[in-house]
Chains A and B, each alone.
Chain A
Amino acid sequence: MSEAASSVEGLLRALAPQVLGALVRRYGHFDSAEDAVQEALIVAASGWPRDGVPENPRGWLITVASRRLTDLLRGEQARRRREDTVARWVLPEQWQAPAADRPPADADDTLILLFLCCHPALSPASQIALTLRAVGGLSTAEVARAFLVPEATMTRRISRGKQRIRDSGLRFAPPTGPERADRLAAVLHVLYLIFTEGYARTAGPGLLRGDLTAEAIRLTRLVQRLLPDDPEVTGLLALMLLTDARAPARTGPNGELVPMAEQDRRRWRADQIAEGIALITAALPRGVVGPYQLQAAIAAVHDEAPDAAATDWAQITALYKVLLAISENPVVALNHAVAVAMSRGAPAGLALLAELADDARLADDPRLPAARAHLWELTGERVAAREAFRMAAARSTNLAQQRYLNARADRLAGEPPTVGGGGAG
């Protein structure tokens, strides 16, 4: 991509939610407005690098998108008239709330859009897809590529989400009162899912997924700028930065996964670590400590250790214990057990992991057998460790991870290691 095209793309992605917000505020019709903005973005993406950016790019996009929206609505209305079905809808009751309950009109449109796209009436897959398109300004093709699904599938997913929003009669306004905290949690969860989707596969064949981590960080930064006093928002941004900082060291020269203990820490991104630590340090004393802050604090402890042996496992164990107390999550319990093993010895960790063996939520998860395998290897139980590594590899759906786990199993069997080899894993 030329320099002009890439700077135009950055500008368009930043303007996308503002333009959509302006359109929906003025004309309603979130679903058609979203399509209209996409089309305006496409026109700008091809025209601006060639002809130059207009003097008022936001106004230009609003004008073009408004015209397109008018066309879309006319087509729709003409079709309805032909079919003799008038587009009638009952004004939702919450729209008739007394004026005093109304949020301030200048509430940020980007945030409202995020709340809308992450509405609980939508499936998580639709929430993610719609967020990336309506707020992130990505095209359907780009979202489809990032999730390795056909464009037609993604188109259906997005239109289903918009249909749901239309049917729910959602008003273009931020949620208020007790509902707000839940809705914000849903937004953060969607951003977190986008991040993990990108992060989990950075080593796989879908290298483009790295874009998803960058996009998750960009959107979370946006939310953090809008809600700087919310410690969980800051915690989530810190968590993403501190985790993503290790990305350059996570894979070896042949794309194989390198576990944290063996990573070359000089390749970690120091600027991201510094920013993440500053954010989490500022957020933690602000009252209620939520799960994102705790996970960020744990990531910070890892990132601050000059080498694996110097990791403050006692601190990490303590943080996992707090996290476990507020979120009943088997993966957190698993990580806590590993931290216990590192701070108090493998047998203590194995005892905790044994308690998770019957948890149905981990039945298909490669992480439990992988953790047990590592600890059995430490205690010298080579046969059990090898079997567990094999089981973990069988459960994994990620090629790089499978190759890593199989290599560990092979090592225990005394077979020649295949890491870095050209054969199939």
Chain B
Amino acid sequence: MKYMILLYGSQQDYDVLSGRATDRPAMSAEQVAAMHKHMETFHQALAESGELVDARGLSEPVHARRVQVRDGAPVVTDGPYPETQEVLAGYTIVECASFDRATEIASGLVDPDAPGGYVDVRPVLEGVEDLAG
């Protein structure tokens, strides 16, 4: 079974990461390096256990485009999110024995230093027939 672990962040979280203070202090170079190191070893371990399917980070929300259709024509909105809105910032897809194992993996992706920080785990459908189940 595949599970997607979703990580969230606002534009402000990206700012803190890129060394810009908001209402929180900016992360130091050491903190950023430590975070990268953690993500690397974390995913390396998943790859070695054969549980890693894919892991990606998304660019800053400011670069998002929202596409809608109005009167039959696709309409694009540049930068649709307010700066404080939490949006999808990245994901890790794992293939593992159970939801509980996926949840265990997910706990390693929660930033322990961010109060109230969280990630979501969602089972991935393998086909439309799963929807009926």
CA of A90 to CA of B78, assembled, Å: 11
A87-B79 in contact given A70-B60, A77-B62 (Cβ < 8 Å)? yes
Q: Does B41 contact A (CB under 8 A)?
A: no
* Chain B residues, CB < 8 A from A96: 74
Which residues of A71-116 have CB atoms within 8 Å of chain B's CB atoms?
73-74, 76-78, 81, 86-91, 96
Q: Does B82 contact A (CB under 8 A)?
A: yes
24 A/B residue pairs, CB under 8 Å, sorted by A: A28-B65, A29-B78, A70-B60, A70-B62, A73-B78, A74-B11, A74-B83, A77-B78, A77-B79, A78-B83, A81-B82, A87-B79, A88-B75, A88-B77, A88-B78, A89-B75, A89-B76, A90-B74, A90-B75, A91-B67, A91-B73, A91-B74, A91-B76, A96-B74
Q: A87-B77, A90-B74 are in contact. List 8 more A-B contacts (CB 8 A).
A: A29-B78, A67-B18, A73-B78, A74-B79, A81-B82, A87-B79, A88-B78, A89-B78
Q: Does B63 contact A (CB under 8 A)?
A: yes
CA of A67 to CA of B18, assembled, Å: 10
* Chain B residues, CB < 8 A from A76: 79
B 58-94 binary contact with A (CB < 8 Å = 1; else 0): 0010110101000001111111101100000000000
What 6 pairs across the A-B complex have the smallest Cβ distances?
Answer: A91-B74, A77-B79, A87-B78, A73-B62, A74-B62, A90-B73
The smallest beta-carbon distance between A75 and chain B, in angstroms, is: 10
The smallest beta-carbon distance between B70 and chain A, in angstroms, is: 8
Do A91 and B77 have beta carbons less than 8 Å apart?
no
CA of A74 to CA of B82, assembled, Å: 10
Binding site for A on B (CB under 8 A): 11, 18, 60, 62-63, 65, 67, 73-80, 82-83
Set B63, B65, B67, B77: member contacting A86, Cβ < 8 A: B77
CA of A73 to CA of B76, assembled, Å: 15
CA of A70 to CA of B11, assembled, Å: 11
CA of A81 to CA of B77, assembled, Å: 12
The smallest beta-carbon distance between B86 and chain A, in angstroms, is: 17
The smallest beta-carbon distance between B63 and chain A, in angstroms, is: 6
* Chain B residues, CB < 8 A from A27: 63
Set A70, A87, A89: member contacting B63, Cβ < 8 A: A70
The smallest beta-carbon distance between B96 and chain A, in angstroms, is: 33
* Chain A residues, CB < 8 A from B67: 91
Closest to A73 in B: B62
CA of A86 to CA of B74, assembled, Å: 15
Which of B18, B65, B75, B79 has its CB near the most chain A CB atoms (within 10 A)?
Answer: B79
A73-B77 in contact given A78-B83, A81-B82 (Cβ < 8 Å)? no
Which of B78, B82, B83 has its CB near the most chain A CB atoms (within 10 A)?
Answer: B78
Closest to A27 in B: B63
CA of A77 to CA of B77, assembled, Å: 11
